[in-house]
Amino acid sequence: MRPGLRMPKLDGPIKLRRGFTLCFALLLSTLSAIPAVSQTNRDDEEDKNLVGTAVVLRTLDKVTATTKDYTVKIGDTLDYGSLSITARHCEKRPPTEIPETYAFLQITDTRLNGEGEVVAASSEDDDTDGTIFSGWMYASKPAVSALDHRVYDVWVIDCDVPESTMEDSLRR
């Protein structure tokens, strides 16, 4: 130890308790302020998102190794192979922010027997209506909320936004 430096003297457990109490109070006050700030920022971001009229999907048939892009209007259903894909909602961030597109999709699988007749869902399945996916898909993170199907892959590419809405977001 250098001659000019001295360790601070602690007078027993009383000073230690005060130090822990102050540190704990400071930590709690800091943590309690974080949710309020993040919630405010989240609300501002949600107001800025552009709501689309149609979602652009890319499909992959794993058997034939072919991909195809489809534009599905919100509320409409795309029949692709044994899948029925219904687009419920899509949004994207304005062009002035980091790109992100997301859509709420509901996908059902119609199972057929060898003669082309619809087979009722088995008792092993959770959903009796054949729903295999219902949730948000993100364009930048397809693996986060991917469709897990043995024959097909489906992912979001873009969200079609009317030109007037896009121009308004650029003016802000």
Cβ count within 10 A of residue 161: 21
* Model pLDDT for residues 39-75, shown as the tens digit of each residue: 445 445 445 899 999 999 999 999 999 999 999 999 9
The string over 133-143, giving b where at least 16 C-beta atoms fall within 10 Å of a residue's C-beta and e elsewhere, is beeebbbeebe
Q: Give buried/exposed letters for 91-115 (b at 16+ CB in 10 A, else e).
A: bbbbeeeeeebbbbbebbbeeeeee
Identify which has the larger pLDDT, 6 or 131: 131
CB atoms closer than 10 angstroms to residue 72: 20
Mean pLDDT of all residues belonging to the chain: 77
Q: Is the pTM of this model over 0.85?
A: no
Tokens of 102: 């997301």
The pLDDT tens digits of the residues spanning 80-117 come to: 999 999 999 999 998 889 999 999 999 999 877 777 67
